[in-house]
Structure 1
Amino acid sequence: MINHIYYIFILALPVACIAWTVTKEEIFKEAREFCVNKSNHCNHLVKRKFFYVFTCEYCFSHYVTILVLTITNFTLIYPDWRGYIIAGFSIVWIANVYMSLYSLIRIDLKKEKIRIAKEESELEA
């Protein structure tokens, strides 16, 4: 059981990385903007929700988790479908904790860069 806990934390890392990269990073900016536009302007609810998934790291992390569970066949507590469900929601939750922490770190780094730039400009003036 203890090993399974370690696996959850490890499997949540690629889930968080993939979900964050697709929904937040510059490399997917054009695709994300296309999805935002489609999710705002499609006539059908199903199409709007489909495109929205690619703009929300929380939503997208569920689908990445399903892919990871399919590849790894990882279950938690129960060896059947119940174990997949428990493992899935556990991985999603931890992946989103990782993404929240990463977001906080990035905000702190941006604040620090702005503060340093401001101090440098004041010293030059």
Structure 2
Amino acid sequence: MSSVPFLNTPEALRQLANQPHTPCQCSLQHCAGWESVSEAVWPAQQMQRVATLRDPDVYEPTFEEQHPNGTRYDSADAPVALKFFPYNRCDVHVCGKCQQHALRYTEFGGYYVDPRARRLAAERITD
């Protein structure tokens, strides 16, 4: 069982995204879309995991993506759709310096592990 709350509605995620934050110079500034953020670059000392989007009742979440307007997985304007990949495999973190929220998950390939992050923007969260 997770020690952080499971957010299962767009409204709950929007509440986090709408919390005030200030400019910060951390490595997340370049993460408008999904970006590789290695453990060496992830600002772990200032990040706190505050929620998860992983449904504890779903053993194998879908890999289907949602792109109704022709966006791509790594597009800065791609929708944040909770029930679709990769959001259904994410945790939500907050920066202790600027209070910016970020989504994080790990991409697993045949021979690699790639931690990825995306800043959370309320206007991208869809139903």
Q: TM-score, normalised by structure 2?
A: 0.24
Q: TM-score, normalised by structure 1?
A: 0.24
> Which structure has the highest helix share of the two?
1
> Which structure has the highest strand share of the two?
2
- Tell me: higher relative CO, structure 1 or 2? Use CA pairs within 8 A at least 6 residues apart: 2
